[in-house]
Chains A and B, each alone.
Chain A
Amino acid sequence: MKRLFPFAALLLLVGCDSQPGTWGWYVIDPTTKAGWTNVQFLMRGFTSTIQVSMLAAVASIMIGLFVALPSLSPSRWVRLPNRIYVEFVRSIPLLPMLFWVFYGLPVVLKSVGINLNIDPFWGAVITLAISDSAFTAEIFRSGIQSVPHGQSEASQTIGLTKSQAMRYVILPQAVRRILPPLANQFIYIVKMSAFASVIGMQELTRRANELVVTEYRPLEIYSLLILEYLVLVLIISAAVRWLERRMGANER
């Protein structure tokens, strides 16, 4: 409690600055009709933030695993595409990539004869998935490499092929080990989905921005926005911990 006190005092001071002496909580006060309408407007952003994040995370894990597999080869030439992809993709900042996918990718596709209009939703999913996949690929690589070599040797001596050993012996153990860093990446995706607001996707941040423009109460609205992300991330953390307990039970 003692530690919370300076923080609370700071919030009050900031409140003083925007409007002497008072916070303007009325804009998001759910007990009034206008406030409740505003809160509902903000909360409706949860749907698209969650949808974009889930789709991007699933795609990122699939791309990441696909990209990670060649990195396990003893041959340098097989590993090369993996290195190039990882180094290239993880060097691109999210915002420029978002612009490139949203404004540039349709032009590129059109030049090769594909007429595809990318809306803000899919633009965000594609960008987040690709951007994150470079990190997921590295996580998979380290996870797979952390499984002792004896496991593949034992798989070989009981007649499993390399891909069977990967599927039934190595990957299940690797996934248990990389669950915490994968959860980190999922939280990262949820937070980075806020960038999708700049290409006009109606997610949490975009809605907060729009409400700020009409109500002009940035402090209160953005405070609520931060709380919305906090709730999302806490739910993810709890879910991952539950999953870890379930998967790790009785393992060693």
Chain B
Amino acid sequence: MTAAVRLTELDKWFGEFQVLKKVSIEVSPGEKLVICGPSGSGKSTVVRCIANLEPYEGGALDVLGGEPGAAGRGEVGMVFQQFNLFPHLTVLDNLTLGPIRALGLSRREAEDKAHALLERVKIPDQAAKKPGQLSGGQQQRVAIARALCMEPKVMLFDEPTSALDPEMIAEVLDVMEELAAEGMTMICVTHEMGFAKRVADRIAFMDAGELIEVGTPEQVFTAPKSSRFADFLDKILSH
């Protein structure tokens, strides 16, 4: 089976500063990869490169069998830390904009699909509201539904719960876990280690632009190979 996403010795610079240093990893279709690491480690940058939001300078990046930009419209779904919902549109219009304009669906088809997805993320009765009227957790679930409307083959999550109040984290993680159970290919940057333990097939640890270690949750949580990963886990698990 060919990889859904394959990074081969990926290099990236921000000016003089190298943010990614020969990062190589493969994600198979249906696999759930969690990427963690301290801030500034380059984990968000990896996800942003896969989403074609950032260019890279060296190595190769293969997404769904081609260059990142060559994937079909909306085939690589992305969920942002800051939600990035469209504040001037209703929840329903946030969801239907892509299917109507990029996939050419009729308004009716798009709205049926949007309502079904709002049901799935457990906010069926908020369709007519503007994003600003929803709680953070609800907004992030709308953002997930908006990406799912495009029927993506890969879903990327860039710290989806980091901007949320603690009591809203669970409702977003629940939706993500259900998505994982349905077999979606997911690459998820997060510090939620409980979620990682339950959902991830593999956990990758990055530090200072390098991919330090990759392993199954059992491996890394019981016996991380590198001391940097052990320190990191120590810090975030013991607080």
Contact = CB atoms under 8 A, between A and B. Distances in A.
Interface of A: 148, 150-151, 153-154, 156-161, 164, 168-169, 172-173, 176, 250-252
Contacts of A158: 74, 97-98, 102, 146-147, 149-150
Contacts of B10: none
Contacts of A172: 88
A56 B80 CA distance: 42
9 contacts: A150-B82, A150-B84, A154-B78, A157-B51, A158-B74, A158-B149, A158-B150, A159-B103, A161-B102
Contacts of A151: 84, 86
Interface string B23-51: 00000000000000000000000000001
Contact of B133 (A154, A161, A176, A250): A250
Q: Which of A157, A168, A172 has its CB near the most chain B CB atoms (within 10 A)?
A: A157
B76 A157 contact: yes
B98 A160 contact: yes
Contacts of A153: 53, 78, 80, 84
B74 A154 contact: no
B101 to A, nearest CB: 5
Given A150-B80, A250-B132, A160 B97 contact: yes
A250 B72 CA distance: 34
Contacts of B88: 172-173, 176, 251
Contacts of B225: none
Interface string B41-67: 000000000011100000000000000
A156 B75 CA distance: 11
A173 B86 CA distance: 9
Given A158-B150, A176-B88, A251 B102 contact: no
A160 B84 contact: no
B73 interface: yes
A148 B85 CA distance: 11
